[in-house]
Amino acid sequence: MSAGVIRPAASEDVPTLADMIARHVTSGDVLPRSAESIRATLGDWAVGQDDDGRVVACGSLWSYSPLLAEVRSLVVEPGLRSAGWGGRVLQALVVEAQRRGIATLFTLTRAVTFFERQGFTITDKSVFPEKIFKDCQACPLIDDCDEIALWMDITGGGLAEELKRQRLATALALRRAQRRAADAVNPLNAKEIER
């Protein structure tokens, strides 16, 4: 394997990244990312550049909260998939997430063995409702999804705290919705729900 470098993505990488992602979308490896969306999130991308200056791998982070981020769009050019590029890009993303204070990383993928070798653990997709609402709802495979959710706790204890926060937020939102529904039907019922 050539050494190459792993570095933050730069604006001149955007066309290459958009093309690379588009080619992997057709094979079902990743979701589409437009050049505009890549440009808008450029600070979240890492690339692998070979000794000839070609971008041969990439990946990005998508933050859902200060404690939770997704590893997404992690791709390596065909023919180089066993050369360590994916692991090196992923490691750069983990280091960046740690620098940002993110406690938990997750991914949805078919490359389960790869992520397990990198320290991720299989979990249930329902643990990450933000992902389901953001991306999965628009996916044509939502009812037949074969991707597996994996997560990594990178700062210790983050996932448990994040899940507690999510459950509390969901419970409060449900209670507010029940209150509004009761108020709409009968303003006197709202007082019963508050008790």
Q: Would you state the pLDDT for residue 115?
A: 92
Name the 3-class secondary structure at 108.
strand
Joined together, the tokens standing for residue 26 give: 């057709």
Alpha-carbon gap, residue 178 to 163, rounded angstroms: 22
Compare 131 and 52 and report the one with higher pLDDT.
Answer: 52
Confidence band, pLDDT 50/70/90 cuts, at residue 17? very high
Tens of pLDDT along 53-85? 999 999 999 998 888 899 999 999 988 777 789
Q: Would you state the pLDDT for residue 80?
A: 78
Confidence band, pLDDT 50/70/90 cuts, at residue 132? low
Compare 182 and 146 and report the one with higher pLDDT.
Answer: 182
Q: Which of the residue ranges 29-33, 95-99, 189-193 would you say has the lowest mean pLDDT?
A: 189-193
Q: What is the model's pTM?
A: 0.75
Alpha-carbon gap, residue 90 to 9, rounded angstroms: 14
Q: Which residue has the tokens 């389960």?
A: 112
Q: Would you state the pLDDT for residue 89?
A: 95
Q: Would you state the pLDDT for residue 136?
A: 62
Q: Would you state the pLDDT for residue 139?
A: 62
Compare 137 and 94 and report the one with higher pLDDT.
Answer: 94
Q: Would you state the pLDDT for residue 192?
A: 52
What average pLDDT does the structure give for the chain?
82
Whether pLDDT at 49 is above 70: yes
- HEC secondary structure over 11-68: HHHHHHHHHHHHHHHHCCCCCCCCHHHHHHCHHHEEEEECCCCCEEEEEEEEEEECCE
Confidence band, pLDDT 50/70/90 cuts, at residue 164? low
